[in-house]
Structures are given as structure tokens and as C-alpha cells.
Amino acid sequence: MHRKVIAPSVLAASLLLVIPASAASSVQGAPGIGDPYYPASGNSGYDVSHYDLRLQYQPKTDLLEGTATLLTTARQDLSRFNLDFGLKVSEIRVNGAKAKFATSGDHELEVTPAQPLKKDTPASVVVKYAGKPSEFKIDGWSAWQRTPDGGVAAQEPDSAVWWFPSNDHPLDKATFDISVNVPDGTQAISNGVLQSQSSRLGWTRYNWRSNKPQATYLATLAIGKFDVTTGTTASGLPIVNAYSKDLGDNAGAARASVERTGEVAEWLEGVFGPYPFNALGGYVPNVPSSFALETQTRPFYSPKQFANGANVSVVVHELAHQWYGDSVSVDGWKDIWINEGFARYSQWLWSEKEGEGTAQELADWTYGLRAADDPFWQVKPGDPGPDNQFHGAVYDRGAIALQALRNEIGDEKFFKILKGWPTERAYGNAKVGDFVRYAEKVSNKPLAQLFETWLYTPGKPAFAPPAATSKTARSPKAPAAKPVEPKSWKKIAETNTIHDH
């Protein structure tokens, strides 16, 4: 959940400037990976398999110093390639030799190695840098949130450029080792497992490892003074949760929600299949924002999510993304329904399980909230456009689309699909069309028209009553003609504030 960072209209104009990757023998990589929503995101010509980030951060000054080592493989002979990064670089070495570099655009770093990269050959890229992330701005805005005791990197679709150089697009996922040195008494929270921590001369170093492919925007860093709780799931995975010591009146509700991470994940495993990563948890830093984000293995929650008391529904949403969004990632940002339609639907399933309203009742209620002439129905969840990437329609209409699918094919096949897809596409990327084809394969039914209606056709579709095959359809007291507000509705609606800036 989330909001986009960069004004898309500005980027749309730069689309024309993108240099297509050609088949020439030794070429310059393009400054974008080819995503029409965000033409400057990612870069062409190479893949990154691993990031090793060795960082030091001083909360008093916001100074971040780092050495990033990227293990890459060129996909073509490259005389030059780009990284996405915003902080000041002092040196770059490629395969050990000093490289020339220059900056361009909002966040492009153009690297010219001493020797061209050879196609299909591994290459190491070492970038040394230092800067204050809060002072780097794109369109006057920084994704890095300063807190009274540190700083936080958690944003979608872009946050990496504020703290490490990368190929910044979900198409190029990699494993991560993130090592952070901070003053004693301060913690550094990141993704995955805390491999070790040690103190020396007034500084403490935290070594985090995320050992499955991870998109760059799902890498996270939070530095500050936290209370940390730990646990273990029934299957033996470590749980690490962290709460700023400075959450004020939201502290209790934050803990009462995020401490249920293990329980929620256990339930989600029953719906989506085995949990895909090496650790679990969540963190709540003392930031002024209101959104939450599915940062891999360790979602970010703004304290405001808990201003009205505990809200387990937001935990359900962000943990559902670990399967739908993190393990199976968008192919391009237009495929955002692959993430958000399912994360929203998981909130409806949790409500159904808790006896607070079935998914059908929530779909009926959501459907009835907006009249046919409401602009809400003009947004296409299957290709919403960059301005509407995180529009409510991607979530709500996107989730009604899944209820329509469930009613069309019945519970048995529907839940087989929900569980099968994260395995079918584990650690990869997918387009909306890939899901449609998968659903057709598993259900053995033609579904193109259903998805065309719900995901790609502007206007309010007809919403048919559930087929007799659906056991958990409407309860007798809530006929389709006159939906009542499900008990879970307000808590689910509260999670919509995550779109706010």
C-alpha cells in the first residue's frame, strides 16, 4: 500500500528520450528497464543477483556512508550501464578496476567500466558513497523519512535511490546482505534474519540477510531506538518485531496488532500455501506518515494505522503481500492488481474467518457504496495508469473481481487457484494476463470475458449473485438487494488511509 513517488506526467515526457537497447555488439545500457508507467525506473542490459550493503548511519546528522557491492551479469556486451541512485558517489570499481561515472536525470548514475562488460559474464560493481538521504529530493520530495531518533526507507514504487545504488525495478530481484553500523543504543532494522550483531568503540553493527529474491522497493531500513520482540513460528521461522520507543498513545494498539503476525501468517499459509521467506515480523517507527508497506519479511506500519485501536486487518493485508507482491511480483507497474486486488481480498477472507462479514457481503457492500456515475468505476484495475496506480478501485473493484471469479468457478477451484499461484510463480514476476490464463487452466473454464469486464472495462459492471456452488455466500439476513454494513468494514476502510501522503 503506498503511494507513488514521482509525478508520472514528468516521466511520461521523458519516455521519448529512452534509448532502446539494441542488438549492436557493445552498447550503452538504457536508463530505464522499459516500464511505460515509470520510464526511468530500472536500467537495461544487466541483472543483479546480489546486493551487499555495508552502511554506517549517524542519527544526529542524517549522514549515511556506504559501500555497495553488486553482483551482476550483463545480458549483452556493455560499454556503459546505468544504476539508479541519488546520493553522492566517491568511487566506483567494476571487476576491481576504477570506472568512470557521471550523473544524469533525476537519479541516473552512468557507469563506464575500464573494460566493457561481456555478455553472460559475472561482474562485480563496488560503489562507495556518502550523503544525507533527507537532502536528496526528486520533485521537491524525499522518500526517506526522518524521525527524532533516526530515519526510515520504506516507499513504493521507489525508495532505493535514497539509500543504495540499484537496478530499481521489480523485474530485477536479488538477494540482500544489509550490514548497518549505528551508535550504541540505537537499532538498525532491515529485511530477513539478523545474522549477528556486535559492538565496538561506541558503535553497534547489525547484519541482516534476506536470502530469497527481493525487489529493490521491498528492501527496507529503519534506524532508531526500538523495543524489539522476538519469537518463532510453528514451522520454526524467526519473528522479529520492532516498535519505536516513542509511539505515545499508539504504542499499545500497534503491539496488539503486529504481535499477531505469526498467527496471521499461519492462517495465510492455509490459504496461500507455505510462507515463502526466511523470517517474519513488522516494525512501527515514529514517523508522521499514515501508510503501511509490505517490505519483504518485515512490513512497515505507520503509527497512525493504529490511532483508532488495534487493526489486525492491515497486518493481514501486508502479510498477504509476502505471497502476492513480494514472492510473485509485478512484471510492470501496470500489473499492480496482481498485488493489491489479492491483498485486499485477503482482508475480506480474514473477516469471513472471524465471522465479521463474508467476502460476498463485503463485495456487496463495496459494490453498493458507489453509484454507476461515480468516477471510481472509470479506473481500470488491470491497467489503471500511473496516476491511478494506487487508486481505491485497484483494491476494491479489484477484490470484487476476485469474488466474481469465486462465484463463477466455485470455492473448490477458487481456493485451489489462490494457493497454487504463489507456488507456480514463486520468486518471479507476473502480468495480469498470466493470472487470467492460470485461472482458466485450473478451472477449465473460459474466463477472459469476466476479467475483461472487471479489470479492463470502464463503468460499473453488473454483479451477479453467487452460484449455488459457493458455500460461504451471502448469509440469509443479508440479501443481495439490500446489503448491510459488515462488522469488519470500518477496520478495513481504515487501512485505506495508507494511500495518504
Interface with Zn ion (CB under 5 A)? 1, 340, 343
CA distance 109 to 285: 30
Output the CA–CA distances (angstroms, integers) from residue 329 to 27, 354, 431, in the order listed: 29, 28, 9
CB of 339 to Zn ion, least distance (A): 6
Name the residue among 280, 353, 361 with its Cα closest to residue 322: 280
End-to-end CA distance of the chain: 11
CA distances from 301 to 2, 11, 162, 173, 288 (A): 11, 29, 19, 23, 11
Q: Which residues pair with 310 in a beta bridge?
A: none
Identity of the residue, 39 or 325, whose beta carbon is nearer to Zn ion in the bound complex:
325
All three cell numbers of 484, joined, read 448491510
Nearer to Zn ion, 223 or 430 (CB): 430
CB of 317 to Zn ion, least distance (A): 6
* Residue closer to Zn ion, measured from CB, 99 or 312: 312
Question: CB within 8 A of 363, min separation 6: which ones?
Answer: 348, 399, 400, 403, 404, 463
What is the b/e burial string over 346-383, where b = at least 16 CB atoms within 10 angstroms of the residue's CB? bbbbbbbeeebbbbbbbbbbbbeebeeeeebbebbbbb
Shortest spacing between CB 299 and Zn ion, in angstroms = 10
In 113-202, at which residue ranges do the beta strands (DSSP E only) sit?
Answer: 122-131, 144-147, 150-153, 174-183, 187-189, 193-200
Is 71 or 493 the residue whose CB approaches Zn ion more closely? 493
Q: Which is nearer to Zn ion, 294 or 364 (CB)?
A: 294
> Grid cell 512501527 — which residue?
284
51 vs 291 by CB, closer to Zn ion: 291
Q: Is 106 or 340 the residue whose CB approaches Zn ion more closely?
A: 340
- Computed from CA positions of residues 170, 173, 175, 177, in that sequence, does the dihedral angle turn out positive or negative? negative
Select the residue whose beta carbon is closest to Zn ion and give its number: 1
Using CA atoms, how far apart are residues 64 and 72, in angstroms rounded to an integer? 24
Pairing of strands 46-58, 174-183: parallel
As a whole number of angstroms, the distance between CA 406 and CA 345 comes to 11
Least Cα distance to 466 among 453, 458, 457, 475 occurs for 475
Q: Residue 208 in contact with residue 178, Cβ under 8 Å? A: yes
- List all residues 6 or more positions away from 60 whose beta carbon is below 8 Å from its beta carbon: none
| Shortest reach from residue 240's CB to Zn ion, in Å | 21
Instruction: Report, in Å, the least distance between residue 125 CB and Zn ion.
Output: 32
Q: What is d(CA 256, CA 491) in angstroms, rounded to the nearest whole number?
A: 14
Q: 123 is written with which cell numbers?
A: 561482474
Query: CB 363 → Zn ion: shortest distance, Å?
Result: 18
When the beta carbons of 340 and 408 are compared against Zn ion, the nearer one is: 340
- We find the least distance from the C-beta atom of residue 312 to Zn ion, in angstroms, to be 15
Residue 1 or 280 having the CB closest to Zn ion:
1
Q: Which is nearer to Zn ion, 264 or 343 (CB)?
A: 343
Q: Looking at beta carbons only, is 212 or 317 nearer to Zn ion?
A: 317
Q: Minimum distance from CB of 1 to Zn ion (Å)?
A: 4
All three cell numbers of 218, joined, read: 521491498
The minimum distance between CB 444 and Zn ion, in angstroms, equals 30
Residue number with CB closer to Zn ion (21 or 402): 402
Q: Give residue for cell 476502510.
A: 493
Smallest gap from residue 245 Cβ to Zn ion (A): 27
Q: How far is the CB of 112 from Zn ion (least distance, A)?
A: 39
Rounded least distance, CB 157 to Zn ion, Å: 12
